[in-house]
Copies of this chain bind each other. A is one copy, B any other.
Amino acid sequence: MLDASSAIERWFRLRWQAHQPPFYCSVDLRNSGFKLAPVDTNLFPGGFNNLSAAFMPLAVQAATAAIEKICPEAKNLLLVPENHTRNRWYLENVATLAAILRQTGLEVRIGGLSAQEKTELETATGRKILLEPLKRKGTRLGLEDFDPCAILINNDLSAGIPAVLQGLDQQALLPPLHAGWAVRRKSAHFAAYDEVAADFAQLLQIDPWLLNPYHARCGEIDFQARAGEECLASNVSMLLEKIRLKYLEYGIKDAPYVAVKADAGTYGMGVMMVRDAAEVRDLNRKQRNKMAVVKEGLAVTDVIIQEGVHTVERIEEKAAEPVVYMIDRYVIGGFYRVHGARAADENLNAPGMHFVPLAFEESCTMPDPHVSCDAPPNRFYAYGVVGRLALAAGALELEQTAPPPAA
C-alpha cells in the first residue's frame, strides 16, 4: 500500500470527482495483521475531542475546503447536536467541532432539537456552550436572530427525522437526512463497500477480502418472540464456513467468528459475537433483551451478520482498535479505542473503553520490520486509506439510498 501511494491517491482523486464525500465521517477499523477492514462507519461522528489537539490544523484545513464548496460567501453555520446534554464528554465533542468550524471563518451557533430556551452548558473540561432553541421560518431553519447557510447535524437521528428538519430546500443540510439511523442500514453501507473494495483491490491487484469483511443480513427478526432465528442461524453458518475457507487459503490459525449487529444500531448497542450457529438458537432472556432494542428504544427487526476481525493492536497490552476521522475527503486524525476488559475478538465499543490519540510520531513502529519507514505517517497511512474506502462507500451508499426528489 505504501509503494502504491501515488496510484492510490490518484484513484481517490478521480473517485471524489465522481462521488462527493459526506461532510464528515469516522470509521472503526480492525487490523488483524493479515487483514485491515472497516467494521463501522459513522456519518455523525462524535469524539472530535478525542483527537490530538496538535492536529487540529489538519481538521481546520479540511473543513475550510469543505465549507468553500458549500457556502463560499456565507458566514453562518448552525450545528444541531444530540439531545443528551448531560453527557459532558459529548458536549466536549460539540465544543471541539464548533471550534474547528469557527476557525474556518464561520459564525457557528448551536441549536438544540429539544431546547426551549437559551441554555449555557458546561463541557467536561469546563468550556461553555450556548444551546439555543431552533426557529423555523417557512422552509428555512435558524435561530431567533441567525439565518445559516448550512446546517450541520451531529445527531444521528435514531429517533426519526424531526419535522423541523424536513423540507428545508434552501439550505445545505449536512449530511443529508437519509444518513440518519431512522433510515440508514449498515447492510446498505457494506453493500456499497463491496463495490468500492472490489474496485480498489483491482487497482492493487489484491484479494478484496483482505480489506473487506464478509457480511449477510436478515430481516423480520423479533428477538423477543424468537422469530427469524433460522435465517440468523443459517447465515451465521454460511459466513463462518466462508471465513474458514479463507483462513485455510491463507494459513490462518485464528478461530473464525461473526458479529451480529442491529442493522440500524449505533453506540455499540445491539451487538453480539458468535462463534457457532448454535449460539443464536439458544439465546437466553438476557441476551434477547440486549439485542432486541437499541438507542432511543427502537426495536431491532433487521440485523447484519459481519465477519469478525481479530485485532492485533495493543495499547499497554490492552485490546485496541483504530478509529479514523475524516472531514470532506481528508483524513484529519484518529485515535485508538482501548478496552482493558475485552478480548481481541470482542466489541470494544462498550462502557469501560478509553481513547488514545493516534500519533504520527509512532508511525514507524510497524510490527513488520520489512516495511519501509520512509514515509513518516506509515501505519497511519494504511488506516487512512481504508478509512477513506469506507468514506467512499458512504458517498456511494448515500447516492444509492437518496430519496427521489420531490415532484
By a beta-carbon cutoff of 8 Å, the part of chain A in contact with chain B is 5-14, 17, 53-58, 61-62, 64-65, 67-68, 72-73, 75, 99, 102-108, 127, 329-331, 360-361, 374-377
Q: Which residues of B have CB within 8 Å of A14?
A: 73
6 contacts between A and B (CB under 8 A): A5-B102, A6-B75, A10-B106, A12-B105, A14-B73, A17-B73
Within the assembled complex, what's the spacing in Å between the Cα atoms of A12 and B107? 14
- A interface majority secondary structure: helix
Tell me which of B61, B105, B375 contacts A103 (CB under 8 A).
Answer: B375
Tell me which of B17, B53, B103 contacts A9 (CB under 8 A).
Answer: B103
Interchain residue pairs A-B with the least CB separation, the first 10: A9-B105, A10-B105, A53-B376, A54-B360, A6-B102, A13-B105, A61-B330, A10-B75, A65-B65, A58-B58
Which B residue's beta carbon lies closest to that of A95? B374
Q: How far is the CB of A85 from chain B (nearest CB, A)?
A: 21
B330 touches A13 (CB 8 A): no
Known contacts A10-B75, A330-B61; A376/B106 CB under 8 A:
no
B62 touches A13 (CB 8 A): no
B64 touches A13 (CB 8 A): yes
B7 touches A105 (CB 8 A): yes
Q: Which residues of B have CB within 8 Å of A73?
A: 14, 17
A377 touches B56 (CB 8 A): yes
B6 touches A106 (CB 8 A): yes
A376 touches B56 (CB 8 A): yes
Known contacts A54-B376, A73-B14, A361-B54; A104/B61 CB under 8 A:
no
Q: How far is the CB of A71 from chain B (nearest CB, A)?
A: 9
Q: Which residues of B have CB within 8 Å of A58?
A: 57-58, 61
Which B residue's beta carbon lies closest to that of A360? B54
B7 touches A57 (CB 8 A): no
Q: How far is the CB of A56 from chain B (nearest CB, A)?
A: 6
Q: Which residues of B have CB within 8 Å of A103?
A: 5-6, 9, 375
Within the assembled complex, what's the spacing in Å between the Cα atoms of A376 and B100? 11
